[in-house]
Amino acid sequence: MKYIEEANRYIDNAKEILREKAHKEDGYYQDMKYVKMAGHTAYTGILMALDGYFRGARKTRKSVEWYQAALAKEDKKIVTVFNSAYHTLHLVMGYDGEQNSKIVSAGLEEAEKIIHWVEMKQEKATA
């Protein structure tokens, strides 16, 4: 499951960007540029995991609605996690540069949940 390893590498890279470049102070990241970079990196990790899981389903660029619909067919609960991750990582961090470290941490946790969900689904499928 190379795509799971890659997805986790993206999450690790996002955490490294925050740790080494965004300069957390008093619960807030000081450099919005790196918060945005970390948000986009983590969200890309989610998409790598989902694209690997749904491999062959569609070759072109997918919309957020496509992922929501595909996930809803698999597990309605994971759609809520995906929506939260999309909102936090892609919109609030990636575009708005949210600096509150608690919100950033919550977004990264949601990303890890999705990647773990994909990993568990794959393990069941290959067992």
- What CATH number is attached to the domain comprising 24? 1.20.120.330
DSSP-derived pairing of the beta strands 24-25 and 28-29: antiparallel
Looking at residue 61, its pLDDT comes to 79
User: What pLDDT score was predicted for residue 60?
Assistant: 77
Written as tens digits, the pLDDT of the chain (127 aa) is 799 999 999 999 999 999 999 999 999 999 999 999 999 999 999 999 999 999 866 667 789 999 999 999 999 999 999 999 999 999 999 999 999 999 999 999 999 999 999 999 998 888 7
* Domain tally, the chain: 1
Cut 0.85: pTM above it? yes
- Domain holding 67, by residue range, is 2-126
What is the pLDDT, as a whole number, of residue 56?
Answer: 63
Q: Check residue 57 and give its pLDDT.
A: 61
Distance CA 53, CA 115 (A): 10
CA dist 38 and 18 (Å) reads 6
